[in-house]
Amino acid sequence: MAATSHRSVCPYDCPDACGLVVQVEHGRAVAVTGDPEHPFTRGALCPKMNRYQDTVHHPERLMTPLRRTGPKGTGAFAPVSWEEATAEIAERWRGIIARHGAEAILPYSYAGTMGLVQRNAGHAFFQRLGASRLDRTICSPAKDAGWSLVMGKTPAPHPDACAASDLILLWGINAAATNVHGLHAVREAKRKGAQVWLVDTYAHATAPLCDRVVLVKPGTDGALALGILHLLDRLGLCDEVFLAAHVQGAAELRTRILPDYPPERVEVITGVPTETIRALAEAYGRARDPHLRPGNGLSRYGNGAMTLRTLACLPAFVGAYAKPGGGAFASTSTGQAFPMQRITREDLLPGPVRTVNMNRLGWALTELSDPPVASLYVYHSNPAAVAPDQNAVLRGLAREDLFTVVHERFLTDTALWADLVLPATSSLEHADLYRSYGTYCIQRAKAVVPPVGQSRSNWEVFQGLARAMGFTDPVFAQSADDLIEALLTEPHPWREGVDRARLAAGFAVELDPKREALRFETPSGKVEVLNSRDPEPLPRYLPPHSAGDPHPLQLVTAPAVQALNSTFHEREALRRRMGTMALQLNPAEAAARGLTEGDPVTAFNGLGEVAFTLKVTDKVPLGVAVAEGVWWRRFAPGNRTVNALTSQRLTDRGGGSTFYDNRVDVRAGEPVTP
Ligand SMILES: Nc1nc2c(c(=O)[nH]1)N[C@H]1C(S)=C(S)[C@@H](COP(=O)(O)OP(=O)(O)OC[C@H]3O[C@@H](n4cnc5c(=O)[nH]c(N)nc54)[C@H](O)[C@@H]3O)O[C@H]1N2
Ligand SMILES: Nc1nc2c(c(=O)[nH]1)N[C@H]1C(S)=C(S)[C@@H](COP(=O)(O)OP(=O)(O)OC[C@H]3O[C@@H](n4cnc5c(=O)[nH]c(N)nc54)[C@H](O)[C@@H]3O)O[C@H]1N2
Ligand code: SF4
Ligand SMILES: [Mo]
Instruction: Provide the CA 100 distance to its chain's centre, in angstroms.
Output: 33
**Is the domain of 565 the same as that of 648?**
yes
Instruction: Assess whether 298 and 372 both reside in one domain.
Output: no
CA distance 262 to 243: 21
pLDDT band for position 326 (cuts 50, 70, 90): confident
Is 568 inside any structural domain? yes
187 lies in the same domain as 298: yes
Rounded to the nearest whole angstrom, what is the distance from the C-alpha of residue 576 to the centroid of ligand 3?
A: 19
CB 359 near ligand 2, within 6 Å: no
Within this chain, do residues 163 and 267 fall inside the same structural domain, yes or no? yes
CATH number of the domain to which 207 belongs: 3.40.228.10
Residues 132 and 146 in one domain: no
Asked whether residue 415 is assigned to any structural domain, the reply reads: yes
Most ligand 3 atoms within 8 A of CB, residue of 13, 16, 427 to mutate: 16
Question: Which of 458, 490, 510 is a domain's end point?
Answer: 510
pLDDT per residue as tens digits for the range 554-571:
999 999 999 999 999 999
User: Is residue 598 domain-shared with residue 637, that is, in the same domain?
Assistant: yes
Spatial distance between the Cα atoms of 646 and 644, rounded to a whole number of angstroms: 6
Q: What is the number of the ligand 3 atom nearest to the C-alpha of 48?
A: 4
Q: Quote the pLDDT of residue 517.
A: 87
Tell me, yes or no, whether 386 and 238 share the same domain.
Answer: no
Ligand 3 contacts CB of residue 14 (under 6 A): yes
> Looking at the predicted structure, is the pLDDT value of residue 673 above 80?
no
**One domain, residues 360 and 450:** yes
pLDDT at 1 over 80: no
The residue nearest atom 31 of ligand 2, judged by CA position, is 112
Q: What residues contact 112, with CB distance under 8 A and at least 6 apart?
A: 11, 379, 380, 381, 382, 409, 424, 567
> Of all protein residues, whose CA lies closest to atom 4 belonging to ligand 3?
46
Residue to mutate (ligand 3; options 13, 22, 33, 48; most atoms within 8 A of CB): 48
Mutate to test the pocket of ligand 3, among 8, 13, 18 (most ligand atoms within 8 A of CB): 18
DSSP 336-355: GGS-THHHH-GGG--S---E
Residue 4 lies in a domain: no
User: Stretch 188-212: mean pLDDT, rounded?
Assistant: 98
Residue 241, domain extent: 141-330
Same domain, 485 and 446: yes
- Single residue among 281, 307, 330 that ends a domain in this structure: 330
Residue 523 lies in a domain: no
Give the span between the Cα atoms of 51 and 426, in whole angstroms: 14
Q: Is the CB of 204 under 6 A from ligand 1?
A: yes
CB 157 within 8 A of CB 329: yes
Q: Are residues 598 and 483 in the same domain?
A: no
Closest ligand, as measured to the CA of 358: 2
Provide the domain count of the chain: 3
Q: What pLDDT score does 285 carry? A: 98
pTM over 0.75: yes
CA of 245 to the centre of ligand 2 (A): 44
In this structure, is residue 494 part of a structural domain?
A: yes
pLDDT on residue 179: 96
CATH classification of the domain holding 98: 3.40.50.740
State what percent of residues in the chain have pLDDT above 70: 100
pLDDT tens across 467-509, in order?
999 999 999 999 999 999 999 999 999 999 999 999 999 999 9
Judged on CB neighbours under 10 Å (0-12, 13-18, 19+), 92 is middle
**Distance from C-alpha of 667 to C-alpha of 601, rounded to nearest angstrom:** 6
The conformation of residue 283, written as its DSSP 8-state character, comes to H
**CA dihedral of 242, 243, 244, 245, whole degrees rounded to 10:** 50
Q: Residue 293: inside a domain, yes or no?
A: yes
Q: CA 339 to CA 342: how far, in whole Å? A: 6
Examine the fold and report which residue of 330, 348, 372 is the final residue of a domain before the chain moves on: 330
Smallest Cα–Cα separation from 404: which of 368, 378, 424, 379?
A: 378
Mean pLDDT, rounded, for 407-411: 98
Q: What is the CATH number of the domain that holds 566?
A: 2.40.40.20
C-beta separation of 433 from 117 below 8 A: yes
Closest residue by CA, ligand 2 atom 26: 112
Residues 222 and 542 sit within 8 Å (Cβ to Cβ): yes
- Does the Cβ of 630 fall within 6 Å of ligand 2? yes
Residues 232 and 134 in one domain: no
Give the whole-angstrom CA distance, residue 539 versus residue 306.
7
Q: What is the pLDDT of residue 100?
A: 98
Position 19 in a domain: no
pLDDT at 674: 63
Are both 197 and 303 inside the same structural domain? yes
Q: Tell me the pLDDT of the chain averaged across its residues.
A: 97
Whether 561 is in a domain gets the answer yes
Cβ of residue 380 lying under 6 Å from some atom of ligand 2: yes
